[in-house]
Chain A
Amino acid sequence: MKQNEQVPISLQDFTAGLWKENPVFVMMLGLCPVLAVTNTVENALGMGIATLFVLVCSNALVSALRHFIPKQVRITTYIVIIATFVTLVDYIIQAISLDLYNKLGAFIQLIVVNCLILGRAEAFASKNSFGRSVVSATGMGLGFTLALIMLGGVRELLGAGQLLGYPVFSDQFEPWVVMILPPGGFIVLGCWLLLINYVKQRRSTSAIKQELAASHCTVPQRH
């Protein structure tokens, strides 16, 4: 625990959560809201911002209190801290937009059991300085929001022919209703994962090929 105290804040803390360790596509954390509320971009954005807020606030508090929380009851303490911020968000969203609140439904309160938040509190915030925890949580939260929007965009575009409520295609377009329904969520996430795996695999094979080509070129020179 001690050796992490002196590490300064770096850009890497921030960017890791955005893509390299993206909570949804790489770590597969917090999948329930990812699939449940991404039938439109608007819902996805609302959910993403709510999660970002809870993630940053709870990780900041956990990190600030990390020397005072006894080890035996830490998980319970984290859950109570998270539940407090979720209750806050719940009331704030009700005050700002009742329409969004009704669309997201119980999933705002279910942020409490989003494994991403508890996971980051346990794995990062409880071991690192306040500044680093806030920066890392912001990166993770933005990565989560990005993933939600990537799913919501595809589902809204194909399922309703709209983007953020504006029609994209002409009237002849027949919406793929299944994309808005539950199966669409699973299938779109599956397709994104397949695409990401494909890109990763191509990159690694092209890296190997380059290495082979480079070594092949050097071989004749040695003779």
Chain B
Amino acid sequence: MNPESLSFIFLSAFLINNFVLAMFLGLCPFVGVSAKRDTAFNMSLATAFVMFISSLCAYGINWILTSYQLEFLRLISYIAIIASAVQLVEMVLKKFSPTLFRALGIFLPLITTNCAILGVALFQTARQYDFFQSIAFSLGAGAGFALAIMLMAGLREKLELSKLPNITQAAALSMMLAGILSMTFMGFAGLGGQI
């Protein structure tokens, strides 16, 4: 497959180089919010939306910064964009879906420090994606994040019903599960390999 094509960029971010399981981005919500399936679903929707918005804005900002040769401001402006996008999502949710707003609670403002979102903005700049490639990349990354966190939530809901030794409490078991999930995702490397 042509590595420049939109479908490959989407698939690469979604499965082959899954943001959580292969690139290790966004692990805090992956461990923190994956206890229940419906919270995990809402969280991943909000994250994917913020990812999409901030990727679009990052593309524009990067264009402005490079035309004025102000690349050293990139990091600070990206983080400012993401913080405002999260604020926007927070306001929209509060207005249109107060129940969802309450369900997400503290995790909503924490999306700002989700490294997957800054990761999308930084990687699309480093790989010099154009506008449509950036869109495909951010959609793929959001879908990949949602897939990983939903799989994890499903597994953890099943595990609650099973008997486990005491030492697997807290995050130790989640890490082992993530390792096994990540190993299965390595199988997708056959679709096109690493970039």
Q: Which chain B residue has the least Cβ–Cβ distance from A119?
A: B113
What's the nearest-Cβ distance from chain B to residue A88, in Å? Answer: 10
Contact check, B75 vs A183: say whether CB atoms are below 8 A apart: no
Asked if A181 is an interface residue, CB under 8 A from chain B, the answer is: yes
Asked if B88 is an interface residue, CB under 8 A from chain A, the answer is: no
Contact check, A31 vs B28: say whether CB atoms are below 8 A apart: yes
What's the nearest-Cβ distance from chain A to residue B34, in Å? Answer: 13
CB-CB under 8 A from B24, the residues of chain A are 31-33, 35-36, 182, 185
Contact check, A194 vs B182: say whether CB atoms are below 8 A apart: no
Contact check, A190 vs B75: say whether CB atoms are below 8 A apart: no
A192 to B112, CA, bound (A): 29
A70 to B126, CA, bound (A): 35
Contact check, A113 vs B122: say whether CB atoms are below 8 A apart: no
CB-CB under 8 A from A190, the residues of chain B are 172-176, 178-179
Interface-forming stretch among A1-9, A79-87, A152-160, A207-215? Answer: A79-87
Using a CB-CB cutoff of 8 Å, which residues 96-148 of chain A contact chain B? 105-106, 109-110, 112-115, 118
CB-CB under 8 A from B175, the residues of chain A are 186-187, 189-190, 193
Asked if A12 is an interface residue, CB under 8 A from chain B, the answer is: no
Asked if A170 is an interface residue, CB under 8 A from chain B, the answer is: no
The number of A-B residue pairs with CB atoms under 8 Å apart is 114
Contact check, A80 vs B76: say whether CB atoms are below 8 A apart: yes
A33 to B24, CA, bound (A): 8
CB-CB under 8 A from A186, the residues of chain B are 175-176, 178-179, 182
Contact check, B115 vs A183: say whether CB atoms are below 8 A apart: no
A181 to B72, CA, bound (A): 32
Given A76-B83, A115-B113, A182-B24: A193 in contact with B171 (beta carbons within 8 A): yes
Using a CB-CB cutoff of 8 Å, which residues 131-179 of chain B contact chain A? 166-176, 178-179
Asked if B180 is an interface residue, CB under 8 A from chain A, the answer is: yes
CB-CB under 8 A from A90, the residues of chain B are 75
CB-CB under 8 A from A173, the residues of chain B are none
Contact check, A86 vs B75: say whether CB atoms are below 8 A apart: yes
A118 to B170, CA, bound (A): 23
Q: Which chain B residue has the least Cβ–Cβ distance from A181?
A: B186
Using a CB-CB cutoff of 8 Å, which residues 60-85 of chain A contact chain B? 76, 79-80, 83-84
CB-CB under 8 A from A10, the residues of chain B are none
CB-CB under 8 A from A183, the residues of chain B are 179-180, 182-183, 186
- The 0/1 profile, CB within 8 Å of B marked 1, for residues 158-188 of chain A is 0000000000000000000010011111110
Q: Which chain B residue has the least Cβ–Cβ distance from A197?
A: B167
A203 to B126, CA, bound (A): 49
Q: Which chain B residue has the least Cβ–Cβ distance from A105?
A: B126
What's the nearest-Cβ distance from chain A to residue B175, in Å? Answer: 3
A35 to B182, CA, bound (A): 12
Asked if A92 is an interface residue, CB under 8 A from chain B, the answer is: no
Contact check, A197 vs B172: say whether CB atoms are below 8 A apart: yes
Asked if A206 is an interface residue, CB under 8 A from chain B, the answer is: no
Asked if A11 is an interface residue, CB under 8 A from chain B, the answer is: no
CB-CB under 8 A from B178, the residues of chain A are 186, 190
A47 to B135, CA, bound (A): 30
Residues of B within 8 A of A (CB): 21-28, 31, 72, 75-76, 79-80, 83, 112-115, 118-119, 122-123, 126, 166-176, 178-180, 182-183, 186
A-B contact pairs, 15 of them (CB 8 A): A79-B112, A84-B76, A105-B126, A106-B119, A106-B123, A110-B25, A110-B119, A112-B118, A113-B118, A178-B183, A183-B183, A193-B170, A194-B168, A197-B169, A201-B167
Residues of A within 8 A of B (CB): 28-29, 31-33, 35-36, 76, 79-80, 83-84, 86-87, 90-91, 105-106, 109-110, 112-115, 118, 178, 181-187, 189-191, 193-194, 197-198, 201
